[in-house]
Structure 1
């Protein structure tokens, strides 16, 4: 097999990413160098000793850090770039526009350019002028067109007194300065979460991360795993799990939430049945209309068979209703596998083997 210089370059970049994550988390555990080496030889970063329950499951059924960073990146091939670009995602899923937040436009260098999937658009003008025309108490999402993980995401709200960005008041001049520094940020509508998610924690948008894979034997997608991310006072208005949020496993058949776990601190995983800030129950809560949500997402995944591996971020907006706010080309797995190894499912194991990951 001939390996292109570009493939070599990207592989080296992924090894570099692995090394950077290991270096950043070196103080995360108290493991000795020989103990860390045990994990390295098996493809894991040393943080896996805290994240995963190897005593119960062993290590063979877990997707390793090496496999995730280096091997899964190429599953979708060249088509994966369409998932890396949030604007391209709208074109990719244009058939399912009702499953996407409204698309407003692009902000770059202080300028707002209106965009519409139906070919109709408004004028190009200074971004601050566009912001001034937002309806009172209207919230829009402004996020970098490339990248994920909740980074560079702003929730912009027009208020009677001015503006709020991620819940904090921002003077007009400061907002104008922020717009000037933006380079290709997409602007979409805000997905309003359903009542059940508001009841758990109302100060963040609590999203579902669902990973779909393609079953080659049945020639159809399947739901490999889904978790519900839940924000806290540490993460609001986002729900980023590694920054202090919670993650609860979703029963794929019933939509019932299991115990929620936070990103391990001090070398231990902390499991909760209720929310630490609101006291609301988490374990046992059922997502309303889950079957319709699951089947609706699989219908979307079925429309893009050339993308066999996708990590979908969605907001359940009502009973059986949802909006896709992001799609990921090679999704992270630590928040998924903290609930148990992915490859214990024979369909998942077969999928990864077919794509040269395992």
Structure 2
């Protein structure tokens, strides 16, 4: 690469990786914590939810946790210096540069597979509702979440041996590519990642998205034809479907380009400048995808907004509430006052007024 190209990449790396990405990760970390809090509170009050909605909430809760861990893992990139080649043994960035790609890939794959899982669940709930109610349960949803996460960890374990450290002078070590690793095995692993982690999920999400859009449009046509309002439970499912359409659309726009860039580089793109230029931009967009779900939920799902407002209103009032004798917060009728007069003293009755 020429000096001008190196300068362009360094400038882009600074603005995207040292400024934009940490800000996006902080917003995503806090947003996903709020997602976890709201969905946990919603799950505890399951009186207004049926089994299908409860299962979807469980998977969305796991998706928020995976996205939160992704943002937490990507954030140290702000301390990364691409020009630094050697580290001390106790330097945190040594271990981060050595293992971060594997850990980040685990959460990328787990979030992708969880998105596919909730999309398939919504598809079954719409197109095969009776079969879905027999097959989809909370226990099976939790089991599927555990299996997908373990699969994500196992699938990315081989990448731990891609790089290794060598000793330099004055107790410094340098990270290099591991020549002892089987190149053909690592190449096959990357091809499988492109298929399992990108192409197959994209096809499934595209298929499910089409059916979700059709279901929403047909529901609107039925309401217009019969001039009736939508039932509360159907409205709840409709909001979840709209949220899933938005999540899938963002996945296509923000995540797919980054994975396609990696796949093209794997096929042997020799233009390093173009590859790094595109990968810096697409990786930043990928971080935006893992941080934006909170905004989508807040805009689309009305109960999400209500629970969040209740939490925000309860928190400061609970902190500012002074300790004192318990107060009655309900109005007391005249007859009840008469009975209270027989039970309490005149002084206590005056406190009720």
TM-score greater than 0.5 by the shorter chain: no
> Could you state the TM-score of these two structures normalised by the residue count of structure 2?
0.24
Structure with the larger helix share:
2
Bigger Rg over Cα: 2
Bigger strand fraction:
1
- Output the TM-score relative to the length of structure 1: 0.24
